[in-house]
Structure 1
Amino acid sequence: MSSVTRAAPEAPNRNLIAGRVGRAEFIVVIAALMALNAFAIDIVLPAYPELAQAFSVTDETDVAMILVTYILGFSVGQLAFGPIADRYGRRAPLFVGMVLYALAAIGVLMTADFTAVLLLRALQGVGAAATRVIALAVVRDTMKGREMASLMSLVMMVFMVVPIFAPMAGEGLLIVSGWPGIFWAMALSAIALLAWCAVRLPETLKPEYRRDLSARTIVNGFGAILRIRLVAGYCAATAFFFSALFAFLTVAQPLYVGVYGLDRTFTIAFGAVAALMAVTSMVNSRLVHKLGARRLSHGALIAFTALSGVLTLLSFGGNPPFWLFMTLMALLFPLLGLIGANLNAIAMEPLGEVAGSASAILGFLQSAVAGLIGAFIGSLFDDQVVVLAAGFTIVSGLSVLSIWWAEEGKLFRAPNAGEA
């Protein structure tokens, strides 16, 4: 058997956390690391008109490239930081990524060239990739099974709060300090979190589990991960499922503003959806101990597919009234809190020795594949809700099929020894 597929250490490395970082602080640190990425995306959204004017961009829609280049850098950067984190440990690569994130944000303030801004945003995405990859790897280093799924649910609860407040914070900073204040906020947030991690977050990768950083080792590691049926299936399922979230983020503003006429108040409706996801993430952290990650995620995913199908049928022939649309959103999006964290935990469970590379592949699929599919759904959006609803139905259905393949046709199966 390949060393990649050997079982993880018999007991999680809780002693590396216990006595130095309490559970609540650990959850907040991991959530903050992952939230840096969402923060860099959502806080910039209200500033598009000001950025277009500041950098002499004639077509305001071209400012969206600030988001596209960031996501590209974030996607590719994860593939690099995964093997690096498995070779050199978690702390040093994390600090390098956070410094790059902060310096790129400051660099935007020092240029008047829009092309340079796009390059700097790509570099900022690369830096953010380290935070996402290493946050998941640290969780896998220290947790297993249901405990890992429970903790990831709490992390996702904190993570989901960011889309609620980041656009509002962006608008507030625009009023107080203009668009430069937004980039200063990103830089200072990264610097503050870097100082916190440097003092409080210990190294969680034991020396005996570090891997060589050679091209052959990296290729073999990635290949072995994808050859594990369970992991490959759940990687695909996660990528397909998060396509729905990316599609929603892509069309959220034109949907709420252009279709339903909410104007500036769209941030409230947008935040309400994220708040519902945060609540169910908290609930999931408790339920997963009783029901298991598989039963919760499989049931919620099937329910998401069915409700998406209902929304698709109701949207044929014209957009549903806002109250009906929001009612179905209020039923759909809480299910994300029962799905995302659990799918990630199941995929990471067999991969203790290569947690960095594993989280890199998961992250790449979620951001690159899901981003591309989500962007494609968004490109088809023509002010008709049926496009988004049909996209939800298709990608969530593909996610169910991927899990069915990974589990060899046995959904809702009893948790195995590893999960228990």
Structure 2
Amino acid sequence: MGEREFVVMMALFQALQALAIDAMLPALGIMSRDLGVADSNQRQLVVGVFLLCAGLGSLFPGAIADRYGRRPVLFTCLGGYIVFSLAAALMRDFTALLVMRGLAGFMSAGMLVMSTTIIRDRFQGDKMARTQSLVGMVFMIVPMIAPTLGQAVLLVADWRWIFGIMAGLGGMLAVWAALRLPETLHPEYRQTIAVRVIAANMRTALMTRAATGYVFGMALIQGALFGYINSSQQLVAEHFGAGESFPLIFGGMALMMALANLTNSRIVERFGARRVSHTALFGFMLLGAVQLWLALRGGETLWEFAPVMTLNLCLMGFIGANFGSIALQPFARIAGAAASLQTFLRLVIGSALGAFIGQLYDGSAVPLAAALMIAGILALLLVLFSERGRLFQRRHGVVPQV
């Protein structure tokens, strides 16, 4: 498989999870009314439960894939995603819908973990960061078009058809991958399925200092992102009055984030993942402070909020791919277990934090702005821990592999 086809396929495996989140955003209000949800903030659970269960589901696929291979785990999880998405379309009760969303999120975790693991199987170092940035660029096409897709469905059909589209796209990707994606697990790296071995691998992945700060730092940044996604429909469409223009604004922000990933793919091998991501992290903190000042000042408009938030999202594009590749770099023999644990920590912490931020929504951008700034500061402290107080240092040579 050539690089272009590989990048697009890995991006689409990750993007199915994003589709399940972003395509629902324009329908949250209608969905909550149809299912009799009284609390306006409760609608966010359609997104929050999916994300939380995706985080919980991330803990298991990697260790299994280190024994049996990437393909069996990938197709099992993809099949579950399709089945539970279709089941969600049939639910007539909000609680039952959340259960189906949780199960679909749980199964979607394997697609995210396996795509990351497969990339690590093929690449390492700044080359991996470059590839993940290209994957991220293609991946961001989905957040760009997903809200518009959801809005388009609402114009011609019931919101339940959004789940049907998710399942259909999953089915098409399954056929493509079955025909074209080879097994990437190196035979000599196969691990034993034993509680002792899995626990030891997980402990190694957790306790490796060079990775730990980046994993938890990215979880905080991701939590701020999820907080924005959870409250975006209320904040942008209702508070700032974007209305039906919300999908276009949301998609435009995602486009800028995709361009940031493209730029990162062009510069990361020249400057190094650490230099690029550390610089972006300082910018992220500064913009968080600007966003908080605008929100506290009072009278903030959409045209003040949107440009600063867009720049924050762009910096997340420089942070995410590089933090992820740095955190996974020390692990070759246990890449699946490491990817599972790291994805689990990022998604569980990020989704829980994002749900908390979303529930703090008070009709203003203040809770989100404060979360952006605080997440940036804490992430910096965690990176300093992993780097033993030294930032912007490019690592030359081969990093010791676990």
TM-score by length of 2: 0.94
Alignment coverage as a number of residue pairs: 399
Distance 1:236 1:111, change over 3 A: closer
Question: Quick one: distance in 1 between partners of 2:45 and 2:362?
Answer: 20
1:190 corresponds to: 170
Is structure 2 residue 396 aligned with structure 1 residue 402? no
Task: In structure 1, give the amino acid aligned to 2:105.
Answer: G
How far the C-alpha of 1:63 sits from its partner, in A, is 4.1
1:127 corresponds to: 107
Question: Quick one: distance in 2 between partners of 1:296 and 1:69?
Answer: 33
1:37 corresponds to: 17
Q: Which moved more, 1:116-125 or 1:317-326?
A: 317-326
Verify the 8 A CA contact 2:224 2:375 in the aligned structure 1. Answer: yes
2:333 corresponds to: 353
Distance 1:254 1:117, change over 3 A: closer
Distance 1:334 1:230, change over 3 A: same
Question: Quick one: distance in 2 between partners of 1:379 and 1:159?
Answer: 27
Verify the 8 A CA contact 2:48 2:351 in the aligned structure 1. Answer: no
2:127 corresponds to: 147
DSSP-derived class of the 1:383 partner: coil
How far the C-alpha of 1:414 sits from its partner, in A, is 2.2
Q: Which moved more, 1:324-333 or 1:305-314?
A: 324-333
- Structural mapping, 1:169-248, within 5 Å: 169-248=149-228
Is structure 2 residue 51 aligned with structure 1 residue 74? no
Question: Quick one: distance in 2 between partners of 1:160 and 1:37?
Answer: 12
Is structure 2 residue 2 aligned with structure 1 residue 22? yes
Render the CA deviation track for 1:284-329: whole Å, top value 9, x for unaligned.
Answer: 1010011000000000111111121122233323143333323322
Distance 1:187 1:321, change over 3 A: closer
1:383 corresponds to: 363
Distance 1:319 1:383, change over 3 A: farther
Render the CA deviation track for 1:13-48: whole Å, top value 9, x for unaligned.
Answer: xxxxxxxx1100000000000001000111122223
Question: Quick one: distance in 2 between partners of 1:54 and 1:61?
Answer: 15
Unmatched tracts of structure 2, length 5 or more: none
Verify the 8 A CA contact 1:94 1:131 in the aligned structure 2. Answer: yes
How far the C-alpha of 1:113 sits from its partner, in A, is 4.1
DSSP-derived class of the 1:70 partner: helix
Question: Quick one: distance in 2 between partners of 1:365 and 1:244?
Answer: 15
Distance 1:116 1:229, change over 3 A: same
Question: Quick one: distance in 2 between partners of 1:322 and 1:64?
Answer: 21
Verify the 8 A CA contact 1:319 1:385 in the aligned structure 2. Answer: no
Is structure 2 residue 268 aligned with structure 1 residue 278? no
Unmatched tracts of structure 1, length 5 or more: 1-20
Of the three residues 345, 348, 373, the one matched with 1:368 is 348
Question: Quick one: distance in 2 between partners of 1:62 and 1:384?
Answer: 17
Question: Quick one: distance in 2 between partners of 1:53 and 1:83?
Answer: 42
DSSP-derived class of the 2:55 partner: helix
Question: Quick one: distance in 2 between partners of 1:60 and 1:316?
Answer: 23
DSSP-derived class of the 2:31 partner: helix
Distance 1:414 1:53, change over 3 A: closer
Question: Quick one: distance in 2 between partners of 1:76 and 1:54?
Answer: 29
Question: Quick one: distance in 1 between partners of 2:302 and 2:38?
Answer: 33
How far the C-alpha of 1:60 sits from its partner, in A, is 5.9
Question: Quick one: distance in 2 between partners of 1:54 and 1:332?
Answer: 34
Verify the 8 A CA contact 2:291 2:309 in the aligned structure 1. Answer: no
Question: Quick one: distance in 1 between partners of 2:301 and 2:92?
Answer: 44
Q: Which moved more, 1:200-209 or 1:111-120?
A: 111-120
Distance 1:266 1:114, change over 3 A: closer
Distance 1:112 1:388, change over 3 A: closer
Q: Which moved more, 1:162-171 or 1:64-73?
A: 64-73
Distance 1:49 1:322, change over 3 A: closer
Distance 1:376 1:153, change over 3 A: same
Distance 1:387 1:65, change over 3 A: closer
TM-score by length of 1: 0.91
How far the C-alpha of 1:118 sits from its partner, in A, is 2.2
Q: Percent identity?
A: 38
Is structure 2 residue 70 aligned with structure 1 residue 90? yes
How far the C-alpha of 1:58 sits from its partner, in A, is 5.2
Distance 1:30 1:387, change over 3 A: same
Verify the 8 A CA contact 1:318 1:384 in the aligned structure 2. Answer: no
Render the CA deviation track for 1:102-132: whole Å, top value 9, x for unaligned.
Answer: 1111222444344332222211112111100
DSSP-derived class of the 1:167 partner: helix
Task: In structure 2, give the amino acid aligned to 1:304.
Answer: F
How far the C-alpha of 1:338 sits from its partner, in A, is 1.1
Task: In structure 2, give the amino acid aligned to 1:107.
Answer: A
Task: In structure 2, give the amino acid aligned to 1:333.
Answer: L
Q: Which moved more, 1:317-326 or 1:52-61?
A: 52-61
Question: Quick one: distance in 2 between partners of 1:128 and 1:272?
Answer: 25
2:324 corresponds to: 344
Question: Quick one: distance in 1 between partners of 2:301 and 2:78?
Answer: 44
How far the C-alpha of 1:271 sits from its partner, in A, is 1.4
1:12 corresponds to: none
RMSD: 1.7
DSSP-derived class of the 1:416 partner: coil
How far the C-alpha of 1:54 sits from its partner, in A, is 4.7
Question: Quick one: distance in 2 between partners of 1:340 and 1:61?
Answer: 28
